[in-house]
Amino acid sequence: MAEQSQQTQSSMAGLLLHLECQSCGARLVLEPALRTTRCPYCAAPAVVERPPVPGVPEPVFALGFALTHTAAQEHVARWLRSRSRFTRSGIRSAAPGEVRGVYVPAYLYSVLAQARYRASIGENYQETETYAVTDEDGKTHLRTRTVTRVEWRPLEGELASYVADVLVTASKGLENAELEALEPFDLRGLARYTPALISGWVAEEPSLTLARCQAQARSEAVDRVRGLLSRFMPGDSHKDLVHQSRLDWEALDVCLLPVWVLAVKYAEDAPPLRVLVNGQTGAVHGKAPISPWKVLAAVVTLLAVLAMGGWFMGGGR
Ligand SMILES: [Zn+2]
């Protein structure tokens, strides 16, 4: 353990600059030439130099950038332009010039899950049913029809499955939901991490605790097992599926993911809008806030149009 943390310190410290955003908590690692005063995640001008944090786990894998800066700018510009016209002012016209590439830390998790499950399995069967109808003259006739019914039977069992490639964020600057929105990454492109790989880029060190990331990864793995079990159930339908999974052979490695980040500061009174681009596939994610005033104005206009229409129709008589 002592050996490992020493190694971490030496290879991460080196000639690199360690910065921390006092607004979102992102811990950046970069070459002195890339020194920045604004946080690439949240655009806060609160980035300060900090001593290297001891014991930070070293990246094991990294996925390189496949999308160029220009292509990322184009993706963001297209995305900004295509926002709804109810989006707050300044967003659709924001210049995507300050798109920055960041190697975001995530944990790559895999596990062997042994699930014990219990469920009710439904088998459909057809039955002929007799029913009565009364005609116009008040006479009653008996008719038959075919109906589908379900017979339920209990099922119990075990299913072992290997769950791989679960990615969870290790960054305070980028939430897990945001990472999920950028997925999938094509993990066939994973390479062993070397400092040379991130040379010229801003990287972030894991800033979330290992315990927290591990809990998140386990919960995602169990969710996947649930989905797998659900698809695995025999019969025509099933209900009351419950399962308990034992997790063995866990692997949890820090992996750096290529993400282009644009923090758009469009108003003084609002937090910046963050637009993210998957640096491998070009998928864009962001949540452009809607302007309540624009929506209100549109509703008022619509009501006015409807009222005018009503007035004209009423006046035509
Ligand atoms: Zn920040």
| pLDDT tens-digit map of 17-61 | 889 988 888 888 888 878 777 888 887 787 888 888 888 888 999
CA of 259 to the centre of ligand 1 (A): 15
Domain ranges of the chain: 56-118+156-286, 120-152, 289-317
* Residue in 215, 219, 220, 212 with CA at minimum distance from that of residue 172: 212
CA of 172 to the centre of ligand 1 (A): 9
* Residue in 289, 279, 256 with CA at minimum distance from that of residue 100: 279
Helix (H/G/I), strand (E/B), else coil: 188: helix
Give the confidence band of 2 by pLDDT, cuts at 50, 70, 90. very low
CA of 101 to the centre of ligand 1 (A): 14
Question: Which residues contact residue 274 at a Cβ distance below 8 angstroms, ignoring those fewer than 6 apart?
Answer: 41, 42, 178, 261, 262, 263, 264, 286
What is the per-residue pLDDT for 305?
A: 82
CA of 261 to the centre of ligand 1 (A): 11
Rounded to the nearest 5 degrees, what angle is found at the Cα of 148, between the Cα atoms of 146 and 151?
140
Helices (H) and strands (E) in the chain, counts: 5, 11
Report the distance separating Cα 257 and Cα 71, nearest Å: 17
Q: Which secondary-structure segment (H or E) carries 131?
A: strand 100-134
CA of 112 to the centre of ligand 1 (A): 36
Report the distance separating Cα 134 and Cα 140, nearest Å: 4
| pLDDT tens-digit map of 71-116 | 998 898 888 888 877 777 777 776 666 788 899 999 999 999 999 9
Give the confidence band of 264 by pLDDT, cuts at 50, 70, 90. confident
Q: Which secondary-structure segment (H or E) carries 228?
A: helix 210-232
Report the distance separating Cα 203 and Cα 287, nearest Å: 24
Give the confidence band of 314 by pLDDT, cuts at 50, 70, 90. low
What is the per-residue pLDDT for 216?
A: 96
CA of 302 to the centre of ligand 1 (A): 41
CA of 28 to the centre of ligand 1 (A): 10
Residue 180: φ, ψ to 5°: -60, -35
Give the mean model confidence (pLDDT) for residues 139-158. 93
What is the per-residue pLDDT for 9?
A: 41
State percent of the chain over pLDDT 90. 49
CA of 305 to the centre of ligand 1 (A): 45
Residue with tokens 């969870």: 168
Which two structure tokens, joined as six digits, stand for 192? 């062993």
Phi-psi region of 71 (alpha: psi -120 to 50; beta: other; left: phi over 0): alpha
CA of 166 to the centre of ligand 1 (A): 25
CA of 36 to the centre of ligand 1 (A): 12
What is the per-residue pLDDT for 96?
A: 64
pLDDT exceeds cutoff 90 at 152? yes
- 35, 53, 110, 169 alpha-carbon torsion, rounded to 10°: -50
CA of 217 to the centre of ligand 1 (A): 24
pLDDT exceeds cutoff 80 at 237? yes
Give the confidence band of 13 by pLDDT, cuts at 50, 70, 90. very low
Q: Where do the H-state alpha helices sit in 174-209?
A: 176-182
CA of 205 to the centre of ligand 1 (A): 13
CA of 105 to the centre of ligand 1 (A): 15
Lowest mean pLDDT among 4-13, 94-103, 138-147, 260-269: 4-13
| pLDDT tens-digit map of 165-206 | 999 999 988 889 999 999 999 999 999 998 888 888 889 999
CA of 136 to the centre of ligand 1 (A): 77
